[in-house]
Amino acid sequence: MSQPVTTRPAVLVARAIFPDIIEQLSRHFDVEANPDDALWPREELVRRLQGKQGVFTTGSERIDAALLAQCPGLRICANMAVGYNNFDLPAMTAAGVLATNAPGVLTETTADMGFALLMAAARRVTEGEHFLRAGRWDRWAYDMLIGQDVHGSTLGIIGMGRIGQAIARRGALGFGMRVIYHNRSRLPEADEAAVGARYVSKQELLRTADHVMLVVPYSAESHHIIGAAELALMKPSATLTNIARGGIVDDAALAAALREGRLAAAGLDVFEGEPRVHPELLACRNVVLTPHIGSATVPTRRAMARLAADNLIGYLLHGKPLTPLNPQVATA
């Protein structure tokens, strides 16, 4: 078990965050902040980590074996995100560096955003706004911007963790949707019943669902789990929503399916290589694009920041992190 320290540790806050969170950390640590929100190149991040025992990260900072070898004093990296594909977790564990994330506090907000994108894609909201702003709306027409129903349709969820289950509840209870899901492991029957969802194979889900929602973490195994072959299984009238991570979807294959009418619409909050967006997606009229704002409400972002700060305080001062990803480090 890590022992409490008697001197003030030094921590780096790698991106701009709420000022009161900096104040909270400063009561316990020597804090180097980044109020200008500079995107430091790797060499600069390494330089600023010298002499630091902790770092508050936001998903933008890659923590891997090469960086850790140059920062021998680092003990904890606290991510202000539920995802942690910026962490090389095995390398961190081997180096004795604790990794933490911010699960739970963003579940409901991110599920709300998933439904917002699903509905905007299905009902062609973005297309409609562009149509109106361009001055093209001059009359009613029976087929003007007609889309797909959400209520009473079939929702397919790939990934059934906290956020997936929150989406299932919204679909089943709020919109009377038939909810099917696919996951690496099936939920207990009681959990399925609680959210009104039925387990199916990935292939059946893609063939059956009117709306497909992706809520899986990114890993080497989940890279491009939706590619050209998977898109070909989906109904031409279906929509695809990705609120998980970029790289889960082959963005080029998706753009081709949207452009060629093999998929009705998509809603995307995450992208391969973000903040860059595939230019072919930008050219598609039938896709709703948002800049990774799934958790972007004031209460949720504050809760995420507090949890990251509390992980730093809990571990560096007391040896007790709240949400460790590699807890064996904390108990070593």
Q: Is 278 a catalytic residue?
A: no
State how far the alpha carbon of 174 is from the alpha carbons of 107, 148, 265, 324, in Å: 17, 17, 22, 34
Dihedral sign, Cα of residue 189, residue 191, residue 194, residue 196: negative
- pLDDT for residue 173 is more than 60: yes
pLDDT band at 105 (very low <50, low <70, confident <90, very high): very high
Confidence at residue 331, expressed as pLDDT on a 0 to 100 scale: 87
Please name the residues in contact with 306: beta carbons below 8 A apart, sequence gap of 6 or more.
Answer: 21, 24
Q: What is the pLDDT of residues 7-62, one digit of tens each?
A: 899 999 999 999 999 999 999 999 999 999 999 999 999 999 999 999 999 988 99
Percent of the chain topping pLDDT 70: 98
Catalytic residue, chosen from 75, 123, 182, 245, is 245
What are residue 197's DSSP bridge partners? 179
The pLDDT of residue 3 is 52
Return d(Cα 310, Cα 290) in angstroms, integer.
30
Q: 320 pLDDT exceeds 90?
A: yes
Main-chain phi, psi angles of 142, to 5 degrees: -60, -25
Pick the CATH number of 10-105+298-330 from 3.10.20.30, 3.40.1410.10, 3.90.1150.10, 3.40.50.720: 3.40.50.720
The length of the chain, given as a count of residues: 332
Q: Which helix (H) or strand (E) holds 157?
A: strand 154-158
Same fold, 10-105+298-330 and 107-289: yes
Residue 107 predicted with pLDDT over 90:
yes
- Per CATH, domain 107-289 is 3.40.50.720: yes
Active site residue 151: no
pLDDT exceeds cutoff 70 at 4: no
Q: Does residue 309 register a pLDDT over 80? A: yes
Query: What is the average pLDDT across 129-145?
Result: 97
pLDDT at 5: 47
Across the range 178-189, mean pLDDT stands at: 97
292 is catalytic: yes
Domain boundaries along the sequence of the chain: 10-105+298-330, 107-289
- Which of 8, 162, 262, 292 is catalytic? The answer is 292
Query: Which one of the listed residues 48, 274, 302, 306 is annotated catalytic?
Result: 274
| pLDDT for res 6 | 54
- pLDDT of 2 above 70: no
